[in-house]
Structure 1
């Protein structure tokens, strides 16, 4: 299990955008202002398509954005109880 909570990629994106307005960034990304705002506020995930768009806009890698989202999602999932899962007892041959 991970030791610390990863930051949502939207918070990192805020740093990359700097003084660029949400409206301007959304326009350049080809998405609505509302859609970008949801990501920036940690209310929506960075999809594979958005990861590619961000990589083009910012000169980063799409893998970076997708990886951050995956790490965030995994940490969130690991915080939930999974008592209902019964492990397989596979006997070795």
Structure 2
């Protein structure tokens, strides 16, 4: 599941998401920490609804954007915080018209 990434993008932590999804906090932390590999469908739907995303996007069955293999290799060398700083730096570069 892409739960962790979606939570980070929307500013949720396990406690706040569990409240919003009307789930036990343990259900969220078990998914995040890999103790629950296949959540109940009702849990997955509750999380998707709370995050306002489709279930397919949360489970990974949605189409993924293409990333050049060389770029993926480079990004894999950095932790998430450094990747965010790299993204900000890239976005600050001037773009060619057209």
Gaps of 5+ in 1: 1-8, 69-93
Q: Does 1:13 align with 2:6?
A: no
User: Which structure is larger by alpha-carbon Rg, 1 or 2?
Assistant: 1
Number of corresponding residues: 58
Higher relative contact order (CA 8 A, sep 6+): 1
Distance 1:64 1:46 in 2: 15
Return the alpha-carbon distance in structure 1 between the equivalents of residues 34 and 56 of structure 2. Answer: 19
Q: 1:56 aligns with which of 49, 54, 73?
A: 49
Matches within 5 A, 1:1-93: 9=1, 12-18=2-8, 19-44=11-36, 45-65=38-58
Q: What is the root-mean-square deviation of aligned Cα atoms in Å?
A: 1.9
Gaps of 5+ in 2: 62-98
Q: Distance in 2 between matches of 1:64 and 1:35?
A: 19
- Equivalents in 2 of 1:27, 1:67: separation in Å? 23
